[in-house]
Amino acid sequence: MALERTLTIIKPDAVAARKSGHIIAHLEREGFEILAMKKITLTRAQAQAFYAVHSQRPFFDSLVDFMTSGPIIPMVLERDSAIVGLRDIMGATNPEQAEEGTVRELYGTNIERNAIHGSDAPETAAAERAFFFSGLEQG
């Protein structure tokens, strides 16, 4: 296994429901070290830039609306096989299909309000980390 860094975001639904601490504790129990963390509210332009890869998808506008609806908590995480490990711990995008005990099964409401985001590949993780954190902030 290789030590990796990834990005996760606790989404506005989970922050508003005061589940952030539960999600952070869940990630730490799974062996993730938090290297950087902040609480911010994205502007519309920032959310559009972050999710630009989805700009032609039918859900883009509702995704941007959702991600700007309240504070989020982006974090840089590190552990062996962090990217795949986080995606396993998050569970399926749709909480109704997520395995028992995953973050989305526990804290997600529906396919859009699913509590957490995680990078899907090393290149994506690097770009997403840089979007939210400077090199100095990433440890």
CA dist 2 and 132 (Å) reads 23
- H or E element at residue 104: helix 103-107
Sheet with 116-118, strands from edge to edge, namely 33-37, 73-80, 3-10, 116-118
Question: How does pLDDT run across 74-94, given as a tens digit for each residue?
Answer: 999 999 999 999 999 999 999
Strands, E, within the chain: which ranges? 3-10, 33-37, 73-80, 116-118
Q: Which two tokens stand for residue 73?
A: 């908590």
Question: How does pLDDT run across 4-61, given as a tens digit for each residue?
Answer: 999 999 999 999 999 999 999 999 999 999 999 999 999 999 999 999 999 999 999 9
Secondary structure class of 10 (helix, strand, coil): strand
Find the catalytic residue in 22, 26, 54, 117. Answer: 117
Annotation says 117 is catalytic = yes
Q: CB within 8 A of 83, min separation 6: which ones?
A: 4, 6, 118, 119, 120, 121, 122, 125
* pLDDT band per the 50, 70, 90 thresholds, residue 123: very high
CA dist 133 and 84 (Å) reads 21
